[in-house]
Each structure stands twice: as structure tokens, then as C-alpha cells.
Amino acid sequence: MNTTGAETRYDGTVLITGATQGLGLHLARDLAGRGATLLLHGRDRERLDRAAAEVRGISAGRGEVRTYLADLSDLDQVRSLAAAVRAAEPRLDALVNNAVAGGGAEPLRRELSAQGHELRFAVNYLTPYLLIRELLPLLTASAPARVVQVASVGQSPVDFDDVMMERGYEGLEAYCRSKLAMIMSTFDLAAEETPGSGVTFNALHPAHLMDTEGVRAYGLTPAVPVEEGVRPTVRLITDPALAEVSGRYFDRFTDSAAHDQAYDPQARKRLAALTRELLEL
């Protein structure tokens, strides 16, 4: 597939979670213009259909657009989503884990997922990890393939004595911990993958304080339009120069260092063990 240049064609199949608004929808618009086949995920049928119609208008028949409905705060629905993709899709060239639970409009109110896990840890970490595991056979069969984890420059160490933040809860802190957990697992997935399998795993901070619903809901002032985050993310999906780059964290376009805990072997081992337990893997 040809993926060179800013406006060049990309004919891969890409699954984007959280594709009904914000960065996810903008990514879908960009990739539709390049001719990609897009698998759009959302949790609200009306919004998902509206987004799909918009993206189809941009694609104009160059690539197909299909939709998948699931509430990613419910791990059972995550498994069903992955099963539906495996059953319906002949290939998957890229998985973009973009859906997010932000700091929240009521940041001192601790929320739980369907399985009783702290909501941000569940949506921002457990769900992407589970989706990768469930879709890895399809990604491997479609290789070369890429997993792009939309993380954040906002990173806080996971407290293994209180992973679910039952004490001193605050939504943005929970978000920052979950995003570091996502980066830690990205590094582990890249290290575990068999050399030559053709599946790469990278995380990135796409842009600082994009003008999204989540940023505004928490009460922060957006600093840049959502479009600022599109190019760094599309680059990780399409750039042939990154075909064999894996296990990295990018701050926009720059290969950067994540929080120190991401490089702590014991912390990563503890997180991996906890993840297997929580997901019953």
C-alpha cells in the first residue's frame, strides 16, 4: 500500500475506537480522504450513524465505512466487539485505541465500570489491552499491521497499593495513571511480540489540550484545535518510515521518554500480573 506524503492514498483497514467525536472523528475524516476502509466504533447508535454518514461523504466510495457499537466500560461488550470484528473483517491493518474517559465534569466523584473497576483505569487501560489481545490474531494475519495507543503527556505512576483509587480519588489523577498504564503495556506488548511478526505497538501524545468535549468537561481551556492531533497520529498509522518502529512513546512527532515508572521492570511485571487477573487471561 502506498502511504507516502501528506495527501497520499492509504488503502488499509483501520479500526478507530471513540470515532464519533474529537480526535477519533477527525482521524476518520483524514483517513477517509486517503481511501482507507474505516471501522468506526461508538457507544451511541445515533451519533455513530451520523459520524459514519459524514465519513462516507468524504470517502466518496474510495474506501468502505462500517460501524461497531459497544460500551467500552463493559469488558463483556469489548469481547463482543472484538468477536464481531473478527467475524466480519477479512483483515485489520491498524487498531487505534482512541476512546477515552477524561477527568470528568465531577472529578471528585469516583465512577465504576460494569465489572466494578475504577472507570478511567477500565476504559483507558483495561479495554485497550483486552481489545489488542482479542484482535491480535487478525492483526498478525494482516501483517504488516500497527497498534496505535492514544496516550497523553499527562502521566502519573500507578499506586499498586490502591490501583482502583479507593482513597483520595480525583478524576484527572485517575486519567493520568491510566494513561501511564497504557504506555507501560504498550512497551510490554512490543517486547513480547515475536520478531518478524509484522505487528508494531506505539503510544503517543497527539497534541496538548485539544479542543475536545473531555477537556472542556473537566474545566480546562483548550489550547489547540483537534486537527493538531491528527497528523502525529496518522503518521504512526501510515508512515512507511515507521514500519518497523515498535515499543516507543511519541510526544507528537518526537520519540520521547515517558514517565520513569514505564521503564521500571518490577512495576511493569506487577501491572501485567494484575491485568491478567482482572481480565481473567
Tell me the C-alpha distance between 100 and 68, whole Å. 16
Tell me the C-alpha distance between 115 and 248, whole Å. 30
Q: Annotated catalytic, 10?
A: no
Tell me the C-alpha distance between 69 and 40, whole Å. 8
In the set 68, 129, 175, 249, the catalytic residue is 175
Which cell numbers in the block locate residue 221?
481551556
Tell me the C-alpha distance between 112 and 119, whole Å. 5
Element at 37 (helix H, strand E): strand 37-42
Cα 124 to Cα 52, 167, 180: the distances in Å are: 23, 20, 10
Paired sense of beta strands 254-256 and 248-251, if any: antiparallel
Which cell numbers in the block locate residue 35?
481511501
What counts of helices (H) and strands (E) characterise the chain?
Answer: 9, 8
Q: Got the DSSP string for 68-131?
A: EE--TT-HHHHHHHHHHHHHH-S--SEEEE-----S-SSTTS--B-TTSSBHHHIIIIIHHHHH
Catalytic residues: 175
